[in-house]
């Protein structure tokens, strides 16, 4: 059995070679919480060994963000410098790959006034809108992966000593990321080929809508005109094929912002800005959330819906087999990157322009949604059925009892 250090090295190598598929002479921006310094250094080493011209590491600090939300004036929360997006735009123009590590304590912002967080997020979202648009259009390769931190591990395994919890969380990350096998790069090649077959089938069938049925759920999700299913690896505008999310087990596309009807319940809790929102139930009418309840965190959830006009419409529908590795671990990660691969899900807010033919410019006309937010939440389960509805009204099974049915 490989040691922890061996697994960590394989993982770093996987993120560089598969996650962003860094080329010789390539430029890399690595975003990492300060807790992830060990892994960040290892990734920098692997990237330079792969021939990187520059690895620019940007450390973030969730506790600093918390201190800011608590102490900053309203003017400070609203502040975003006029030149704040310039460096990112330079980097995108030069084809930098972006690798981001996520793994903060999901509760790090618990108790902070959510209106203050929303205020700051909105200022940042507005200031960085062009960058987010380019990223969602895959102007450059980007990838997001996990890092086990004490704060996160404590949340996932509250009954273990913290060292044990961190070790166990790393083990889970390595497993669902397929990093603990002999040859992770080959394993990923096979895995993305499998997802490619699903995506190709769905693109070939060109469904007008999907119909979800299951416990407390009867939802029809119209798909955007000229929608494109994506999943697994993706070819960025740089021409380089890479994997935006590690792990990833989803096939996803853009819903039509005005053609979603029915009701749906969340099958997992959702962590919104530090608040856990439980038992979400939502009703859609003509694409818009007209009713939303939760047994816990309802205020926070409604605040999220009120971020802007697009926040009450869907920007993503994603299908995940109930037998995917994240589901098999049985672990609730309290982190979307992982939990979204445990179940089929929908996202409120911004659609990805890669999910529409013609990209960014064609989104509005195709009915793809726009918003400052993009928040995924799980609706899938082992009792979920999904049918594809074709233009002529005929239906075909897509999933049965949570598994692919074609």
- In the list a copy of itself, Zn ion, none, the entry touching 382 (Cβ below 5 to 8 angstroms by class) is none
Cα separation, 354 vs 139, in Å, equals 10
User: Strands 314-319 and 345-349, how do they pair?
Assistant: antiparallel
* Shortest Å, Cβ 77 to a copy of itself: 10
Using the minimum distance from each CB to a copy of itself, give the nearer residue, 81 or 393.
Answer: 81
**Residue 115 CB neighbours (<10 A):** 11
Helix (H) or strand (E) holding 174: helix 162-176
Using the minimum distance from each CB to a copy of itself, give the nearer residue, 85 or 264.
Answer: 85
Binding of Zn ion by 324 (CB under 5 A): no
Do the beta carbons of residue 237 and residue 137 sit within 8 Å? yes
* Shortest Å, Cβ 61 to a copy of itself: 6
- Please count the residues of this chain forming the interface with Zn ion, following the rule CB under 5 A: 7
Strand runs labelled E in 278-337: 281-285, 288-293, 314-319
* Shortest Å, Cβ 8 to a copy of itself: 14
Question: Using CB under 5 A, which of the segments 146-154, 208-216, 318-326, 379-387 binds Zn ion?
Answer: 318-326
Classify burial at 245, counting beta carbons within 10 Å of its beta carbon; exposed 0-12, middle 13-18, buried 19 or more: buried
Using the minimum distance from each CB to a copy of itself, give the nearer residue, 34 or 290.
Answer: 34
Q: Which of 266, 270, 250, 233 is nearest to 317 (CA)?
A: 250
Distances (CA, A) of 82 to 58, 96, 128, 268, 379: 20, 22, 10, 39, 39
Cα separation, 210 vs 256, in Å, equals 11
Using the minimum distance from each CB to a copy of itself, give the nearer residue, 42 or 384.
Answer: 42
Using the minimum distance from each CB to Zn ion, give the nearer residue, 39 or 277.
Answer: 277
Binding of Zn ion by 321 (CB under 5 A): no
Q: Contact residues for a copy of itself (CB under 8 A)?
A: 25, 34, 37, 40-42, 44-45, 48-49, 51-55, 57, 59-61, 63-64, 67-68, 70-73, 75-76, 79, 81, 83, 86-87, 90, 94
* Shortest Å, Cβ 293 to Zn ion: 22
The site for Zn ion (CB under 5 A) is made up of 250, 252, 316, 318, 340, 347, 376
């Amino acid at each position: 059995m490989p040691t922890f250090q061996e697994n960590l090295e394989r993982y770093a190598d996987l993120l560089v070679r598969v996650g962003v598929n860094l080329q010789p002479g390539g430029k890399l921006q690595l975003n990492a919480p300060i807790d992830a310094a060990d892994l960040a250094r290892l990734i920098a080493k692997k990237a330079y060994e792969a021939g990187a011209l520059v690895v620019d590491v940007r450390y973030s600090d969730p506790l600093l963000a918390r201190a800011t939300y608590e102490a900053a004036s309203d003017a400070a929360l609203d502040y975003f410098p006029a030149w704040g997006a310039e460096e990112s735009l330079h980097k995108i123009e030069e084809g930098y790959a972006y690798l981001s590590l996520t793994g903060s304590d999901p509760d790090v912002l618990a108790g902070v006034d959510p209106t203050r967080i929303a205020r700051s997020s909105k200022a940042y979202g507005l200031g960085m809108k062009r960058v987010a648009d380019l990223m969602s259009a895959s102007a450059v390769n980007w990838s997001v992966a996990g890092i086990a931190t004490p704060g996160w591990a404590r949340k996932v395994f509250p009954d273990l000593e913290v060292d044990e919890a961190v070790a166990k969380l790393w083990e889970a990350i390595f497993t669902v990321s397929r990093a603990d096998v002999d040859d992770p790069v080959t394993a990923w090649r096979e895995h993305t080929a499998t997802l490619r077959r699903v995506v190709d089938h769905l693109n070939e069938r060109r469904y007008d809508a999907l119909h979800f049925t299951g416990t407390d759920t009867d939802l029809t999700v119209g798909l955007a005109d000229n929608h494109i299913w994506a999943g697994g690896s993706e070819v960025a505008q740089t021409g380089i094929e890479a994997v935006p999310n590690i792990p990833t087990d989803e096939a996803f596309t853009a819903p039509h912002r005005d053609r979603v009807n029915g009701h749906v319940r969340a099958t997992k809790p959702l962590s919104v800005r530090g608040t856990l929102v439980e038992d979400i139930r939502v009703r859609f009418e003509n694409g818009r959330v007209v009713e939303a309840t939760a047994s816990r965190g309802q205020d926070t959830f409604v605040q999220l819906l009120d971020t802007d006009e697009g926040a009450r419409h869907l920007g993503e529908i994603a299908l995940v087999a109930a037998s995917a590795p994240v589901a098999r671990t049985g672990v609730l990660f309290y982190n979307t990157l992982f939990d979204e691969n445990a179940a089929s899900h929908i996202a409120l807010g911004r659609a990805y322009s890669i999910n529409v033919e013609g990209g960014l410019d064609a989104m509005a006309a195709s009915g793809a949604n726009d918003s400052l937010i993009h928040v995924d939440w799980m609706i899938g389960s082992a009792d979920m059925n999904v049918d594809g509805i074709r233009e002529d009204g005929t239906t075909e099974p897509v999933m049965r009892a949570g598994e692919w049915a074609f």
